[in-house]
Each structure stands twice: as C-alpha cells, then as structure tokens.
Chains A and B, each alone.
Chain A
Amino acid sequence: MGLLSWGMFPKIITKKFSLRDRAALKSYIEETDEFIPYGNGRSYGDGALNENILHVKPYNNFLAFDEENGLLTCQAGVLLSEILDSVVKRGWFLKVTPGTKLITVGGAIASDVHGKNHHVEGCFSECVEEFSIMLPSGETEICKKGDELFYATCGGMGLTGVILSATISLKKINSKNIRQTTIKTKNLQETFEAFEKYQDMPYSVAWIDCLAKDEELGKCLLMVGDFADDGDLDYRSKKKLSIPFNFPSFALNNLSVKAFNWLYYAKAKDGTSKQKVDIDTFFYPLDAISNWNRIYGKGGFTQYQFILPKEHSYEGLKEILTKISDSGKGSFLAVLKLYGKANENYLSFPLEGYSLALDFKIEDGLFELLEALDEVVVKYGGRIYLTKDVRVSRETFEKGYEKIDKFREFRRENGMDKKLNSLQSKRVQI
C-alpha cells in the first residue's frame, strides 16, 4: 500500500498501522524496527514518510472541553476542522491555525505550525498547555512548557515519540466573520511598506505574483484582518469542490500560471478595499477544493518555504524573486508573511523576518533551481521549513537551525533515533 504526502512525491510503499489504543501502540513500538507517525497527510514533503507508518488519525476522541476558559483536550488524531466544527458556535477559535484546517492536532504540534498571526501569537506550541506522548521506551509522559521534551517535540517532526493527546487553549471570538482589508501593491518596496504599516493587525498575509518582473517584481495583494464583533457564530463548513483526477502534466505551465495570476490580481481593486468574509474564506481558501494538489499532475509538486531575518529580508527576497522569475518555473501565487520572534523550540521554523512559500511542480531542473535559492537563503542567514521540504541537503538545513545538535543529542540519549525516522530525518540526519 502506498501512502502519499500532500506533494505526492516521492511515492513509496508503506506498511500502515492504525493507532486506536495505547496498549496496541506499545506493542507496535516494541515490534517495529523503525516508523514515523502520519497524521492527515497534509505535509508536502517526506517528513511523515517511511516504510512503516503509524496512522494517527483514527485516534481522534475529544476528551474534555472547559467552555468557561476555552481549554480543549483531545486525542492527537483530531483534525483542526473538527475542533472548529465544535467550538466556533460556542464562541471559540484556534489561537494559531495554518492555512489548512485539515491537519491533525498531533501534526500541528510536530510541525509547530504557524498562521497569519505569527507576529502576534507565535507558533501552535504557544497555545499547547500540555500534551501526552509515548516514548520509544513505551512509557507515556505528560509534557509542559519548560520541559526539554516539550522544546524537542514541538516542531520535532514526530521524531521524539508518538503524541497521544493535547490540551490547547482557544481564543474567544464573537463572530465567524473577519473584517478584511486588501491592499494591492505595485512592487516589493510597496509590499514591504504595506506590511510595516499594517503590522498591528492581528492577521496578515500577502499573495505575491512570482512571475512578475523588473519594476513589478514583488507586487502583491496584502490581506489583513481581524474578527468582526457582530455576534454571528452560525458557522458551517462549506461543501467542497473536488478535483476528480490528476491534471495532465502540461496543464500547468508558465502561461497558465501567468493567466491565473493576472486574473487573480485583476479581480482585486487597486489601492485599498474592504470586505467581510467568513473564517473558511479568510483562513482556508484552498480547503474549499479537496485534492487541489492534483492540479500539479501525478508527478507531484513541492512547496519551497524559507524565512529570512528581517534585516536581510528585502535584498534576499529581491534576489530570490529575480531568480524565480528568470527561471520561468511555474508557481501559482506565492505566499509572503511577516513573522514575530522565534521561540525556544529546537526545530521550529519561524524567526523574526519574512518568509516566502511557493509551489513548484516536480520537473527537470527544479531541484537545481531550488539549490540555487538555498544558497541565497543560507547567505542571508535564513532557513527552510521542514514540513514543506522534500529535498533540502543536510548542509543547508544545518546552517539554518542552530539548535540541531541539541536535538540530535536529545534523540540519541533517549533512543529516539533508533525507533523514529522519516525519509527526511535520514536525509538531513536528524
């Protein structure tokens, strides 16, 4: 049986074991040489792929909800979408959510995901009060901020143990709607100015046209927003569209991407405009189309996401965007974001600065281009996001993550490096 990552690359044969109870998990860990936990398969890269996969999604009971204080305890296989289905109508929302709600709580912790409000709220681990985890020894531990295991596990790509359940704190809301402002910019300079101007807004994200060149390089739609206060909590997930099959590989090329980007930008008004949109539209635009990954064809795709420290972001981004636009490699709109301070977790991605995420179809010449981009990232002191990665070299990876040796040592000391491995962990040797 083959389980795929969201990028549908690489394709490997896997043996799957579904997590349903702790006793069975304990025996599985004892009997299995090496495995990696797998949530809902939304990581783009190979961070959750191995020959043996522990399928965590069936382990998905809600355990307790303290409605007064917004504290939810649930098992690791619960999807963020299930949490929203339950809590939004009661006036609560996730403090931190990535651009898809179709990931598990365990996956959110292991990737230490971040959202459009990183500059205000930080990563997902900020809202994790505690979690329980089964270690390779078969023992279960409860883990809180301050514990070394906490710092290693949040962002630790499932390489420290099997997260079983977590208590997360939620954010009070009084509406399912967001008041959004869209700012259309003409180039990278304007884009940066707009980010600075709106940095006090709780949520912000920019969609960049990465095929734009020269004086238009870095033009974007910046969307900022905050929850409305209209008392409308009648939240229902929308019916999804579906891409029924893998698009043929020629469907996505320089021209079609250009056309899409042109349409996308033409739709938004020039200057600044205001809209009221709901949670799904604002936070999860791509979830509206299930299997949207199929538009890249059956060869798969990858997302290249890097972050640069603030002081070098402008020149670094300019260099990278120029390289991409010169290469003509097709990516739909790329996502640019401003981040707040880094946290203490060993392998969490964010640091204070700007990050750019771009999708690329897997094709000849792509990895060479990405390696050229890696050089720029390393030169400016940036790093690559493991959750999206499928090809980064050990050297590039190490240069970006200064706590990697601590992480390696922690794994060795606790026997985690023997039991828990992914294709990625082997490639970058963590």
Chain B
Amino acid sequence: MSYVLIIGAKSDIAKEVARIYAKNGYNIYLAARESDSLEDLKQDIETRSGVDVKLKEFDITAYETHEDFYASLEEKPLGVIVVSGYMPEQKSAQKSWDETLRAINVNYTGAVSILNIVANDFEKERRGFIVGVSSVAGDRGRKANYIYGSSKAAFSAYLSGLRNRLYESGVEVLTVKPGFVATKMTENLDLPENLTAEPCNVAEDIFSAQQKGRNTLYTKPIWFFIMLIIKHIPEFIFKKMSI
C-alpha cells in the first residue's frame, strides 16, 4: 500500500492524522525535526494498524534541504499532508522580528518550498493528493493574531492556486481550516467548548474530506458560518471591533 507523507509530524493533529491514514491501510512517513522523538508514535501506529511507519528528519525552514529530502524517500508518497504550524504570541511577535519571521517561514515559506517540489512530482505522475492545514485565522486579519493569521492567509491563497493549477492533472488539493483545537498548543487557553474540536475529530474530518476530494474543510463546520459573518463585516466597522 502507498505511503502518506506527514510534514510536521509532532503536533497533536499530525499524530491523529497519521493514525487514521494508517488505520485505513496507508503506510506512513513521519517527517519532523528530531524525528527520533517520534519512535513511540511509530511503535503505536505499527502496533495498531500493522502498516509500515518510517521516521524522516525534516526541517521545514531549511529550504535548501527540501529537494534532497524528497528525493531520498524510498518510495514516492501518494499523498502529502502539511500540518506544520507555528503560532507566536501576537504581542511578542509585534515586538520581535524573529518571532514574526518564524511564523512566516514555518506557516508559509517552508510549506511552499516543500509543496512546490511535491506538486511538480505529482503533476508529472498525474496522481496524488495534497492536504494543507491552514487556519480560520487566515480568513481575516484581526488585531488579536494577525501575524499568525496573515501567514496562514498566504498559505491558503497558495493552496487555492495550487488546486487550480493541478486540477487538470487530477491531483487533488484540500485546504483545511481548523478553528480552535484542543492541543498542547492551546492547553492553557480558555477555549469555548462548543467551538473547540478534538484532534482525533479533526483528523477524521480531514481523512473523509480528502477521500471525497473536497476543496476546503472547516473543522468544526460551525467555523464556516462564523467566518462567513466575520469576513462580511464592513472594514469601517471591523476596524473598530475587538474580536
């Protein structure tokens, strides 16, 4: 069975995404920095599902390594899922260029770098799927987290263009826009329960949307409606708001 390559495999969402693809029979490449630390997850997935899991050292901001990384995969993956993300604290990102740059590089530049390579390969082979985990925060810039949000907005726009380009070759591109997710990253935030998804549900939704060939997935679906409203508030009102 084919491999699925998961970029940014250390996150809680990635862990569940890997599990669900494995459960459905895919072999898995887990790509992350210090991939040794994923030994337990590899063991977990292999035990659960009896598939093959390979750990791959990968740094999304080390762009110059991406060509070699992709070339070094024993078998080319059938699908690539980019889960990497970095959410700086807004106030500190406003003051620290390093923080801002890191968000841009992880969320956008690095993702584009690896996906350019993947897209060229998939287009040539006329098969494969790409999933990019973006964010509802990219739908409209808000003062509470526009640095993170703008990097995700750029990523969403990239994925949309990629989908348009790859349509003819039959390669499907799915943009995932999670809202709040209960992960390590958000553990200490007081998130509204009804709007907060569990990583395993996000992963289930991603798998099912990808298998159905959908274009965009809001998870939870309520976020589609929330963002629909937020996107349509006129700017002259929006700029005065605190949401």
Contact = CB atoms under 8 A, between A and B. Distances in A.
Interface of A: 1, 16, 18, 20, 58, 61-65, 82, 85-86, 90
Contact of B48 (A1, A20, A62): A62
What range describes how many residues of B lie at the interface? Answer: 10 to 19
A358 to B, nearest CB: 28
A12 to B, nearest CB: 15
Q: A-B pairs with the 3 shortest C-beta distances?
A: A61-B44, A62-B47, A86-B48
B43 A61 contact: yes
28 contacts: A1-B190, A16-B187, A18-B184, A18-B187, A20-B184, A58-B12, A61-B40, A61-B41, A61-B43, A61-B44, A62-B43, A62-B44, A62-B45, A62-B48, A63-B43, A63-B44, A63-B47, A64-B43, A64-B47, A65-B47, A65-B48, A82-B48, A85-B23, A85-B48, A86-B23, A86-B47, A86-B48, A86-B49
A20 B10 CA distance: 13
A399 to B, nearest CB: 39
Interface string B25-61: 0000000000000001101110111100000000000
A235 to B, nearest CB: 11
A58 to B, nearest CB: 8
A382 B48 CA distance: 41
Contacts of A65: 47-48
Contacts of A82: 48
Contacts of A58: 12
Contacts of A90: 50
Contacts of A85: 23, 48
Nearest to A61: B44
A277 to B, nearest CB: 23
Contacts of A1: 190
Interface in B175-200: 184, 187, 190
Contacts of B40: 61
A82 B20 CA distance: 11
- Grouping DSSP codes into helix (H, G, I), strand (E, B) and loop, the B interface class, with mixed when no group exceeds half, is helix
A82 B47 CA distance: 12
A134 B23 CA distance: 31
A62 B40 CA distance: 9
Nearest to B194: A245
Contacts of B50: 90
A62 B50 CA distance: 12
A90 B49 CA distance: 10
A309 B173 CA distance: 62
Residue of A16, A64, A82, A86 ringed by the most chain B CB atoms within 10 A: A86
Interface string B116-129: 00000000000000
A73 to B, nearest CB: 8
A65 B49 CA distance: 10
Contacts of A62: 43-45, 47-48
Contacts of B190: 1
A63 B44 CA distance: 6
Contacts of A16: 187
Residue of A16, A18, A61 ringed by the most chain B CB atoms within 10 A: A61
A61 B41 CA distance: 7
A297 to B, nearest CB: 16
Given A18-B184, A62-B48, 20 more contacts: A1-B190, A18-B187, A20-B184, A58-B12, A61-B40, A61-B41, A61-B43, A61-B44, A62-B44, A62-B47, A63-B43, A63-B44, A64-B47, A82-B48, A85-B23, A86-B23, A86-B47, A86-B48, A86-B49, A90-B50
B191 to A, nearest CB: 9
Nearest to A58: B12
A61 B48 CA distance: 9
Residue of A62, A65, A85 ringed by the most chain B CB atoms within 10 A: A62
Nearest to A1: B190
A82 B48 CA distance: 8
A64 B40 CA distance: 11
Contacts of A86: 23, 47-49
A65 B40 CA distance: 14
Contacts of B23: 85-86
A4 to B, nearest CB: 9
A92 to B, nearest CB: 13
A1 B45 CA distance: 32
A20 B12 CA distance: 11
A65 B44 CA distance: 10
A90 B51 CA distance: 13
B200 to A, nearest CB: 9
A249 to B, nearest CB: 19
Interface in B87-102: none
A78 to B, nearest CB: 9
A288 to B, nearest CB: 16
A64 B44 CA distance: 8
Residue of B43, B44, B47, B50 ringed by the most chain A CB atoms within 10 A: B47
A65 B184 CA distance: 28
A82 B190 CA distance: 28
Contacts of B41: 61
A90 B50 CA distance: 10
Nearest to B222: A244
Contacts of A63: 43-44, 47
A63 B39 CA distance: 11
A62 B45 CA distance: 7
A25 to B, nearest CB: 15
